[in-house]
Structure 1
Amino acid sequence: MKVKRYIVDDLPEAVQMIRSELGSDAVILNTKEIRIGGFLGMFSKKRVEVIAAVDEASKKLPARAPMPARPIEKKQLLSQIEELAVSSPMIPSNAVRERYSQAPFADSGRKTTSPVMEAQRDAGQAIIAQPDTHLEQHRSDTQAATLAVAVQTLEARENKQAKEETSALLLELRSMKEMMAKMAKQQTFRSMPEAVMKWSRRLAEQGVDPAYVEQFAEAVNLIMEETSEEETRSSYEAARAVLLSWLQDAKGTGIEPTTRIVHFVGPTGVGKTTTIAKLAAEQSFSHRRSVGFITADTYRIAAVDQLRTYADILNVPLEVVFSPSELTRAYKKLNDLDLLFMDTAGRNYRNEMFVSEVNSLLAPGEQTETILVLSMTHKYSDMKMVASQFAKYGVNQLLLTKFDETDSFGTIINLVKEFDFRISYITCGQTVPDDIRPFDPEDLIRRLLGEKSDE
């Protein structure tokens, strides 16, 4: 009997898998609901465990009855002899040699028989002279060859079935091994100090990916174990040290003094236009650089008017482009300015076609930067999809908006660990130009660990 275990989402799915793998004779022995995966009692998923079995003896095909030997008539024998005369090893070579040694052919006017036909006739007479011996020998050879082919086919079929069963068994053992490793890891986490568990749960509540929460817990626990009694270190300091090691390289340097063109890309509604106005005011007033605007956002209603309003307030020029061919004209017209901010249209950048389209508007060069703008109010799964699309084109700078509209900041850890982004600025309001500041890892750590940030 063959017994197999299935872990599926629901019972109909298990029934379909059992019928396809074990056949219609299989029976279900047991079903129960289980929970797999998760971390610290969270993120586990409900599954159904189904045990099925089938009796392999009932699946074997019945043995085929041997075919009865039929007597061979003389006419059939003669026809078989004529077909096999030349190729059969039983043909007397002397008869063929003597036939070929005679006069090769008669005159063209007389009808003659070919040497091959004469050799076949002589061979046939030789075989007919001893029909029993040679016919039985031929029949035995044919039966032996047929039996050998049948044995090889059966062995190949059995070997294939054995390989499939072995592969299925190895796959099941591998999944059980992975499950045991996860359970062992969870058991290890449960044995960690309560203070480490506290900060791990805090990061999980903040939306940090479970894989990174596990890494965080292991790192904090290692720091706590390596700390000597003389150098007593609180769990908060250990957690802060781990997060700081993750974020210290993620701090960007802002807009470089040598940069001349800055492109802003991102999905709809993240606040690109308002952010451009904030940065333009900051560069104009604080760094005394002459600034100009270029916009390709001609899809959104009143988008050009919004940026023109900011341009009028800041007293900076604005150029509108509708295609990549018009960019050269805009760059030449604004050639005397120190810094150009280019606004692109917000689109559904989960679609790679739109990403490729906006990438065609970006002018590559050593004096250009491209900044991806994302909103903290979006789901991490959506932010991850958009970030992956632009990361393929080499975009590695990030600007995060709407910090004041959320209390969950774990997505920043996920983005930094997943894509190695550099974060230059964050925005926390709509006031121009005040509600923008450089990214500060220390401030983010205080928000993640529940400490009140400095406003």
Structure 2
Amino acid sequence: MHIHTFRAESLQAALQQVRDALGPDASVLQTREKRQGRLGLFTRTFIEVEATLDVPVPSHFADRSQSTERSSSAGQVGDKQISLRTSISTTDSSLVSAACSARASASHSVDAPTPGCSEEMPSAAMLEVQADLLSSGMSPSTIAALMREAVEQGRGEPTADAVDAMNNPWALRGRIGQRIAKRLKVAGSIELSANKPQVVALIGPTGAGKTTTLAKIAAGFRFDLGCRIGLVALDTCRLGAVDQLLQYAELVSAQLEVVSSPDQVNAALQRLSDCDLVLLDTAGRAPRDAEQLSELHRFLKLAQPHSTQLVVSATSSAAHAAQAVERFSVLAPTNLLITKLDEAVDFGSWFTLLERTPLSISYLTHGQQVPQDIMVASARRLSSLLLAPLPYRS
């Protein structure tokens, strides 16, 4: 590997030298602050950047995979609409069974039958809610189970309220939403430490939105709480990625460290020891690539983050998200951070994953604006998103 060294008065100027000399595909290996002068007199501080062109970076891969995913998603939307029409017209037998059972339970608790009610068929409200849940991506078996639980929830209520819940779509959605919320685990915001920097790592598949999410978190803590922020780019980084991080670092007045090998981790963190919050940005990893995950594990083992956020895009299918949770478990993530909810098509299909994963959900993002488009996850908010048949809007 042929390593080039560039020096300038600022990191931005040094990166411009890298771009001019090696082109936009160069990889930044390390950045460091150095001082020049004799015997401590007339000392001048400058930035030194090491870069190379020898590390192959398939920069087209992310764009191609995202384009493929978008095309696939578009096809899935069309297929989903056809499937949804079929599901609603035929109505899955498990849904009919659950709805009829619910309606019968409610009706039997009232002395006189409600006009227009039939114990043999689900009410219009039930069918409406079922259609919404199907269109959100939730499976028929999950919908049936939630419907039964919603009925059980009302057994101790006045009979009129129980019947109303079966005939009022908003009341029924509210009951189902409560059942969903009780099954979800949320973590709350990142907690700062009084004695030392809180170190938080963001990991996840390529294209999940880690760097933009890092910027949103950094800006929130900087502007809302006045925290001192440090940013670290772990592993060999493309020049474009470092440029993006540099822009975010300037936005929040943060010091940026670029680390290309594990033996540089401790020194970088030591230089950020006066920060309140240090955020570690990592390169995207393919969940199936064990070698890449092992390499990232070596960095994280030395960094010893207080929390590790697994960043997963809501545009992914539930199956792909579950695979990411399983594969990235070797890195011991502590939380799940869900991005791109504004682009999600069938987020309801994630319910089983979110219910079963041991990871608590920390943050939700829903757009590209920094720092606005991020919120601390709450069970109530997640429940409403899982129930919504249309993409989230802030």
Q: TM-score, length-normalised on structure 2? A: 0.62
- 1:445 & 1:282 partners in 2: Cα distance? 24
- For residues 308-327 of structure 1, the aligned pairs below 5 Å read 308-327=246-265
1:353 aligns with 2:291: yes
Deviations 1:203-248 (Å, cap 9, x if unpaired)?
A: 2321224443332122123335554324445244344334334335
Which residue number corresponds to residue 174 of structure 2? 240
Max radius of gyration: which structure? 1
User: 1:274/1:297 Cα in 2 relative to 1: closer, same or farther (>3 Å)?
Assistant: farther
SS of the residue aligned with 2:336? Answer: strand
Contact 2:202 2:311 (8 Å CA) reproduced = yes
User: 1:451/1:205 Cα in 2 relative to 1: closer, same or farther (>3 Å)?
Assistant: closer
Which residue number corresponds to residue 156 of structure 1? none
Contact 1:278 1:436 (8 Å CA) reproduced = yes
Give 1:201 deviation, angstroms.
3.5
Whichever residue aligns with residue 174 of structure 2, its letter is: R
Give 1:199 deviation, angstroms.
2.4
- For residues 54-203 of structure 1, the aligned pairs below 5 Å read 188-189=97-98, 191-192=100-101, 193-194=122-123, 195-203=125-133
Unmatched runs of 5 consecutive residues or more in structure 2: 1-82, 102-121
- 2:281 & 2:358 partners in 1: Cα distance? 24
Moved more, 319-328 or 249-258: 249-258
Whichever residue aligns with residue 409 of structure 1, its letter is: F
SS of the residue aligned with 2:315? Answer: coil
SS of the residue aligned with 1:398? Answer: strand
User: 1:186/1:427 Cα in 2 relative to 1: closer, same or farther (>3 Å)?
Assistant: closer
User: 1:207/1:330 Cα in 2 relative to 1: closer, same or farther (>3 Å)?
Assistant: same
Which residue number corresponds to residue 360 of structure 2? 422
Aligned match for 1:306, one of 244, 262, 274: 244
SS of the residue aligned with 1:360? Answer: helix
Contact 2:188 2:363 (8 Å CA) reproduced = no
- 1:244 & 1:365 partners in 2: Cα distance? 39
User: 1:352/1:297 Cα in 2 relative to 1: closer, same or farther (>3 Å)?
Assistant: same
Identity over the aligned pairs, expressed in percent?
Answer: 29
User: 1:301/1:240 Cα in 2 relative to 1: closer, same or farther (>3 Å)?
Assistant: farther
Give 1:365 deviation, angstroms.
8.9
Aligned match for 2:347, one of 382, 395, 409: 409
Whichever residue aligns with residue 273 of structure 2, its letter is: N
Which residue number corresponds to residue 97 of structure 1? none
1:223 aligns with 2:223: no
- 1:273 & 1:238 partners in 2: Cα distance? 39
Give 1:184 deviation, angstroms.
8.6
Question: Structure 1 or 2: larger strand share?
Answer: 2
Which residue number corresponds to residue 253 of structure 1? 188
- 1:389 & 1:294 partners in 2: Cα distance? 24
Q: TM-score, length-normalised on structure 1? A: 0.54
SS of the residue aligned with 1:342? Answer: strand
Deviations 1:112-161 (Å, cap 9, x if unpaired)?
A: xxxxxxxxxxxxxxxxxxxxxxxxxxxxxxxxxxxxxxxxxxxxxxxxxx
Contact 2:146 2:179 (8 Å CA) reproduced = no
Deviations 1:87-107 (Å, cap 9, x if unpaired)?
A: xxxxxxxxxxxxxxxxxxxxx
Whichever residue aligns with residue 165 of structure 2, its letter is: S
